[in-house]
Chains A and B, each alone.
Chain A
Amino acid sequence: MAKFVSVEEAVALIPDGASIMFGGFMGCGSAHKFIDALSKSGKKDLTVISNDASMPGGPLGEEFYGIAKLVHNRQIKKLIATHVGLNPEVATQSMQEGTLEVVLIPQGSMAEMIRAGGSGLGGVLTPTGVGTIVEDNPYCLGKQTINGREYLLIAPLRADFAVIAGYKIDKAGNVWYKGNTSNFNIVMATAADTVIAEAEVVVEIGEIAPEDVRTPGVFVDYVVEGGKYNG
């Protein structure tokens, strides 16, 4: 059963050097209150798995949006992502200063690697990346030909923590996502040893219809109430 904790208690769970999956796409669907608290915590040497590095300049005038705060505070040692081009600090830290290791993975492959990691599969066979430098990626385990078509065998991906964000979360930890915030949150909730879910609104059991639950509460270990996000 999901345990309800404060943002500070949830951040205290994270040790230096932890690997953390963050849901969200350019900050949309990220656990903003948790990330803000983590960015002020001084935790360091994190391995972050996320679609992107978000960006400076959020939609509501934020100076740094989502995990761009963690990049800016230099808390990330290794970033596994699909696209980092909208956060110029990543290029500075990785290419000029050499303080941040970046591993780039195709977006669809990352989603399936995490899904595999969370659903007991030994890997993913995908045609994406065949003939490209993705073949040299540390997660690419080889190539197979099936029915005449070439596929890359890609390793599953898990993390110590997944930090996801839903709009409504009920007292059983069931998550309902608003708009297109579900993105990577759904697969990430299945693929970490400890899952922390941030709600904008916590609701009573029954207020989310069972058929509208997209991340069942059984996947969620901790819930924090972030409040409606308004920048």
Chain B
Amino acid sequence: MDRSEIKSFIAKRVAKELKDGDVVNLGIGLPTLVPNYLPEDVHIILQSENGIIGTDTVTEENKDPVHVVDAGGSPSAIAPGGAFIDSSVSFGMIRGGHVDATVLGGLEVDEEGSLANWIIPGKRMPGMGGAMDLLVGAKNVIVAMEHTAKGNPKILKKCRLPYTAVKCITIIVTEMGVIKVTDQGLVLTEYNPEFTIEEIQAATEATLIISPDLKPMV
């Protein structure tokens, strides 16, 4: 798989985690591909933390880039039945557990289910934006990312970069498999049959617990 295929593959699997009616916040990049893979009978409400409940696809007709933008600052739109809210209400909604799931990428994740994705000290300091609040407040935290970076593991025993939030992840989806975070550690519940279990573990610094119900990713 090339990188674009890897991203689509991961997004397709993440889509299965979402249920009809879920309120979902998507991070930038790969997570924005997820809605493309939802079954026809699954409708989700997308929340944009800068104040949209129920975002819609931008068209020439509804485009208003001065007054309606998404959390990346790009033009957005609102779906019928949606609402515009201010930042305090939006983050009250996020911290208060009113968002069912957030999907976001990661630079590093670890055995405790902690995530680092907002800063590389001395190199890049873009800021955490709304990520820390989303990780603490969303009911399900889905990390969607490539399994390794330039061949180096991203799933570590302990994050080396500064945390975005600790003990926050529900599930990790990569092109190699699906990993659930449990009190016992990281449990591999699904694997991509293109790889052996040994290959997946070799690409993972953290020790994977192999689920007794392990099945192929489809």
Chain A residues proximal to chain B, CB less than 8 Å: 25-29, 51-52, 54-55, 59-60, 81-86, 91, 94-95, 102, 104, 106-109, 111-112, 115, 126-134, 167, 177-187, 214, 229
In contact, B128 and A106 (Cβ under 8 angstroms): yes
24 interchain pairs (CB within 8 A)?
A26-B50, A26-B72, A26-B73, A51-B87, A59-B65, A83-B129, A84-B127, A86-B72, A104-B125, A104-B128, A106-B133, A107-B130, A127-B136, A129-B132, A129-B165, A130-B136, A130-B165, A131-B167, A133-B163, A179-B66, A179-B84, A180-B78, A186-B87, A187-B86
Contact A91 B125 (CB under 8 A): yes
Q: Does B64 interact with chain A (Cβ within 8 Å)?
A: yes
Give bound CA distance, A26 to B129, whole Å.
12
Q: In the complex, which of the residues A86, A130, A214 contacts B73, with contact meaning CB atoms closer than 8 Å?
A: A86
Residues 139-164 of chain B, each 1 if its beta carbon lies under 8 Å from chain A, else 0: 00000000000000000000000111
- The 0/1 profile, CB within 8 Å of A marked 1, for residues 82-95 of chain B is 00111110111011
Answer yes or no: B68 CB below 8 A from chain A CBs: yes
Residue of B50, B125, B130 near A95 (CB, 8 A) is B125
Q: Which residue of B lies closest to A167 (CB)?
A: B67
Instruction: Establish whether residues A106 and B130, one from each chain, have CB atoms under 8 Å apart when the complex forms.
Output: yes
Contact B126 A179 (CB under 8 A): no
Q: How far, in Å, is A14 (CB) from chain B's closest CB?
A: 24
Per DSSP, are chain B's interface residues mostly helix, strand or loop, or mixed?
loop
For the complex of A and B, 8 pairs with smallest distance between CB atoms: A85-B126, A26-B73, A108-B91, A179-B67, A59-B65, A108-B133, A83-B127, A131-B166
How far is A207 from B76 in the complex, measured between Cα atoms in Å? Answer: 27
A69: shortest Cβ distance to chain B, in Å? Answer: 15
B51 in complex: contacting residue of A27, A131, A182, CB < 8 Å = A182
Chain B interface bracket (under 10, 10 to 19, 20 to 34, 35 or more): 35 or more
Complex alpha-carbon distance, A177 and B69, angstroms: 14
- Residues of B within 8 Å of A111, CB to CB, are 87-88, 90-91
The interface residues of chain A lying within 8 Å CB-to-CB of B165 are: 128-132
A167 vs B67: C-alpha distance in the bound complex, in angstroms? 9
Task: Tell me the bound Cα distance from A129 to B166 in angstroms.
Answer: 9
B50, A186: Cβ atoms closer than 8 Å:
no
Contacts of A95 in B (CB 8 A): 122, 125
Nearest CB to that of A177 among chain B residues?
Answer: B84
C-alpha spacing A102/B162, complex, angstroms: 17
The closest CB in chain A to the CB of B165 belongs to A132
Report if A82-B128 is in contact (Cβ < 8 Å); known contacts: A26-B73, A108-B133, A179-B84.
yes
Q: Is the CB of B86 within 8 A of A182?
A: yes
In the complex, A131→B168 CA distance in Å? 11
In the bound complex, CA of A84 to CA of B126 (Å): 5
A167 partner residues in chain B, CB cutoff 8 A: 67
Let me know if B130 and A182 touch, CB within 8 A. no
Among the listed A52, A60, A130, A185, which residue makes an inter-chain contact with B166, where contact means beta carbons less than 8 Å apart?
A: A130
Please determine whether B124 and A107 come into contact, CB atoms closer than 8 angstroms. no
Residues A28 and B66 in contact in the complex (CB < 8 Å), given A108-B94, A108-B130, A109-B133: yes
